[in-house]
Amino acid sequence: MESVTVLLNALWLAVPLYTANAAPVLFGGGAPIDRGKTWRGARVLGDGKTWRGAAAGILTGMTTIFLLNTVYQQLLVEHTVLPVFPLTALVALPIGVICGDMGASFLKRRIGRQRGAPVPVLDQIDFLAGGLLLSIIAAPAWFFSSFTVPTLFLVAATPVIHRVANLTAYRLHLKDVPW
């Protein structure tokens, strides 16, 4: 694959991972998923993981993938070799993103970090790992034909972009903390 194609593929595949992860920050709030319950002296997930946030993330991720597929099929198909997302990936990838984010919160509460406390690296890769893992399980053939090693490497390197995005959201007062 040409390097430009690899780069475009990685960006294309990363877009829904990021929109699914960003939507809860914008639309989240309300009742926490763990219903305030604690386990071994700490909240199971914490007030930062809400039903509304999870639903917003999943719906936004699914909508993003639908739009990417539509744009590709309507406009780009003759010019590029971007991956089309099958229905299994459309469903699994955003759910995986939200589960990965929740899994990280679960781990953070177990090691005594309060809601919102930063855990570098974990905070940046939780949603990527979740989204990619559930995609492998739900759509293995698609996954391995779409994510070549260099593509996967580039997607895994996107936390640097994530960092810049969070810093921007903080500056715009959309987030309380710059991570």
Binding site for ligand CTP (CB under 6 A): 24-25, 28-29, 46, 48-50, 53-54, 101, 105, 108, 115-117
CB of 23 to ligand CTP, least distance (A): 9
CB of 67 to ligand CTP, least distance (A): 22
CB of 109 to ligand CTP, least distance (A): 7
Query: If you count them, how many residues does the chain have?
Result: 179
CB of 10 to ligand CTP, least distance (A): 23
How many whole angstroms separate alpha carbon 123 and alpha carbon 70?
31
Quick one: 76 or 122, whose CB is closer to ligand CTP? 122
Nearest-10 crossing angle of helices 122-138, 87-110: 140
Quick one: 50 or 151, whose CB is closer to ligand CTP? 50
φ, ψ for residue 54, nearest 5 deg: -65, -45
Q: Which two tokens stand for residue 58?
A: 């999943």
Classify 42 as helix, strand or coil.
strand
- The conformation of residue 79, written as its DSSP 8-state character, comes to T
Quick one: 64 or 151, whose CB is closer to ligand CTP? 64
φ, ψ for residue 172, nearest 5 deg: -85, 5
Give, in order, the Cα–Cα distances in Å from 127 to each of 46, 60, 78, 141, 172. 17, 14, 32, 21, 23
CB of 60 to ligand CTP, least distance (A): 12
Classify 32 as helix, strand or coil.
strand
Quick one: 8 or 55, whose CB is closer to ligand CTP? 55
Quick one: 8 or 25, whose CB is closer to ligand CTP? 25
How many whole angstroms separate alpha carbon 10 and alpha carbon 168?
22
